[in-house]
Chain A
Amino acid sequence: MDGALGIALGLIASGDPALMQIIMLSLRVTLAAVAIACAIGLPLGAALALSRFPGRGAVIVVFNALMGLPPGVAGLLVYLLLSRSGPLGGLALLFTPTAMILAQTVLILPIVVSLTRSVVEDLWAEYREQLLSLGAGRWRAVPTLLWDGRVSLLTGVLAGFGRASAEVGAVLIVGGNIAGHTRTMTTAITLETSRGNLGLAVALGIILLALTLMLNAAAWGAGQWARERLG
């Protein structure tokens, strides 16, 4: 263990190219997934909050339930979609970073949708008459509500980022853990540990932990800042 920690710190300190490549790919995949999930999930969640249609309750329950979707199942879903005989098989996306982005998007989207729905719904109850009075109809209110809910929403988005960067199952299934191509921090940790190559695994573990810490610090700091500055 001492040896592994020493090697790990050495790898981090020297900026080992293989290590860096894995970190950059992981970040790229997860950030892209978060961006896509937000682009879809924020408006979708807000629309769900403000609209009334039959079956709305069921849609909300499904999204809430999907927040707990096991990563392996999300991976399997995307795998079936992208496999050669699947509906999107022609795109030849399986075992590429794009497939991993897709899988992680599936994982994060329910978090963003559900959280946005609940934040926007609460805000709308408080703001509805005032915004109508100021001349903002229901749909024009969406950007206003998203903006005023930005601090709570940011916390949720960071939670989504955390979930995606920590999961193994989905990226392993659709990415295939190909060295230099689809190997992420979590899949590399799994593989290197099983191979007994603890140095690299520990180095990646340290980086992941540091990343999680930084994210939570950022979320907490944003909340504090908002309370003081925005009321």
Chain B
Amino acid sequence: MTAIYEPAPAILPLTLENMGYSAGGVPLLSGVTLRIPAGRRLIVMGANGAGKSLFLRLCHGLIDPTAGRRLWATGAARAEAQAMVFQRPVLLRRTAAANLEYPLALKGIPPHPRRESVERAMARFGLSALADRPARLLSGGEQQRLALARAWVMRPQILFLDEPTSALDPSATRMIEEMVMQFSDDGITLVMSTHNLGQARRLAQDVAFLHRGQLLEHQTAETFFAGPQTPEARAFLAGDLVW
């Protein structure tokens, strides 16, 4: 099943110009210059604390850069047609189906088409049997699938995923990866962070490597995995802990 998109203005590419972010005078991310074209899968890699989550939150517009610029193709600083799946998604204290209805209601979509979208998304993500269950009582894997389904009903042009499988077992991880690939097959641009090397190899078309708040590498996945240019990235790939 493919999604039918409303003719929305294309928000991609996303251009980051010398983007930086500091909190309390401490630079946490600096000098990030990067272009994210439509239709690609960009994997953001780096050790714990490298700035992956910060990078995604900045791109998504949850926080604003304190230096440099973030520019969507529409010229806006914050674009509508985006969604994000968080490292720890917040599900509302209501049923699984109601969690999917919520963003649609915010967009002002009337109840009838809203419910149809929700049912389709539930079926697509294998959640139909769980529709009436309280979302907070679902298992970790089910909650993550619900978070993906919620992103899906929003019909984003670009989806940000922050280590969506970091708390899941291998089979749940596989399932999420397959679903992520389906987003990509439908033409949705993906930006996903992970420090799981296997996962990065399976999903990446492009790689951005962050180290202590700096973007050290940005290449196609092939080039990156064949031979990273910086010693930090080489050490990261070799599995040495990088600080």
Contact = CB atoms under 8 A, between A and B. Distances in A.
A147 B150 CA distance: 19
Interface in A122-152: 126-127, 129-136, 140, 144, 147-148, 150
Interface residues on A, range: 10 to 19
Given A130-B86, A133-B84, A229 B134 contact: yes
Determine chain B's interface SS by DSSP, over half rule.
mixed
A6 B130 CA distance: 56
Main secondary structure of the interface of A (DSSP, over half): helix
Given A134-B102, A230-B134, A127 B62 contact: no
Nearest to B89: A130
B106 interface: yes
B103 A134 contact: yes
Interface residues of B, number: 22
Contact of A133 (B60, B92, B94, B135): B60
B83 interface: yes
Given A133-B83, A229-B134, A126 B106 contact: no
Interface in B124-153: 134-137, 150
A127 B150 CA distance: 15
A160 B94 CA distance: 26
Nearest to B138: A231
Given A129-B86, A148-B92, A231-B137, A134 B62 contact: no
Contacts of B90: 126-127, 130-131
Contacts of B134: 229-231
Contact of B150 (A132, A134, A231): A134
Interface of B: 57, 60, 62, 80, 83-84, 86, 89-90, 92-94, 102-103, 106-107, 134-137, 150, 154
16 contacts: A129-B86, A133-B83, A133-B84, A133-B86, A134-B106, A134-B154, A135-B106, A136-B106, A140-B106, A148-B92, A150-B93, A230-B93, A231-B134, A231-B135, A231-B136, A231-B137
